[in-house]
Amino acid sequence: MAKQTDGRKNVNGEKYSATYLKTIHSQLSAIFNHAVRFYHLPYNPAQRAGTIGNEEHKEMLFWTKEEYIKFSDAIMDKPLSLYAFELLYWCGIRVGELLALTPADFDFEKKALTINKSYQRLKGRDVITSPKTLKSNRTIKMPQFLCDEIKEYISMLYEIKDNERLFPVTKSYLHHEMDRGAKAAGVKRIRIHDIRHTFATALLEADVDIRYIQEMLGHSSITITEIYTHVATAKQRDILATKHPRKNFKI
């Protein structure tokens, strides 16, 4: 006989999270809405019963430029880690987009980076897919110092082909490096995705048009971009500096 639950617990007796319950209710309601519209169901029972659960909004965190420099100095002993986080920080790209990058995605003459794919690790296999949304296909302008850094990094990789991954690691590796670097640098540990928050809010503080920021981040809706505005800080205005942020930078 199947193990019984009270409806809000799994088979192990553990309570489902409020966010999970909210997601299940939303999906069920969408199914009933479809039935009402196309199959003559008189009303949406999920809607009539009311919602369950709620979305848990995680606090958006960010680094100041000074905090990021301390962090990047702490991981400089591993070039792969350093250059990966340089791209995350100065271009605002997603982790999956970073891990799918190949040399062919860079046009150093135009100082441009093309985002047209994403990386996932599924069932022990490396899988390259289309980006998260149609808007995620985009071209990002890079500062000259970052072009120089990535060219230097590519030159370190022995006979790498144009279609080979520049960063042949997984997300778990980057999470480990985030832990290591934050601890060594003595800065707060933020989520890797929070680096995008840092990038977006800094652009907002620099009075960059929000629709351009939407294009840079690859957001499908301007509403998503606007969520970042409440964490903007004046301390980040210099993130768009085109000169290299370090003196005597050398690996």
Catalytic residues: 94, 132, 193, 196, 219, 228
Cα Rg, the chain, nearest whole Å: 22
What the block records as the tokens of 190 is 């933020």
What the block records as the tokens of 39 is 């199959």
User: Does residue 41 contact residue 176 with C-beta atoms inside 8 Å?
Assistant: no
Burial (Cβ within 10 Å: 0-12, 13-18, ≥19) of residue 225: buried
Pairing of strands 125-129, 118-122: antiparallel
Q: How far apart are CA 178 and CA 173, in angstroms?
A: 9
Distances (CA, A) of 187 to 27, 70, 152, 190, 202: 40, 8, 27, 9, 18
User: Does residue 194 contact residue 182 with C-beta atoms inside 8 Å?
Assistant: no
What the block records as the tokens of 45 is 């029972």
What the block records as the tokens of 201 is 């809010």
User: Does residue 58 contact residue 68 with C-beta atoms inside 8 Å?
Assistant: no
User: Does residue 231 contact residue 60 with C-beta atoms inside 8 Å?
Assistant: yes
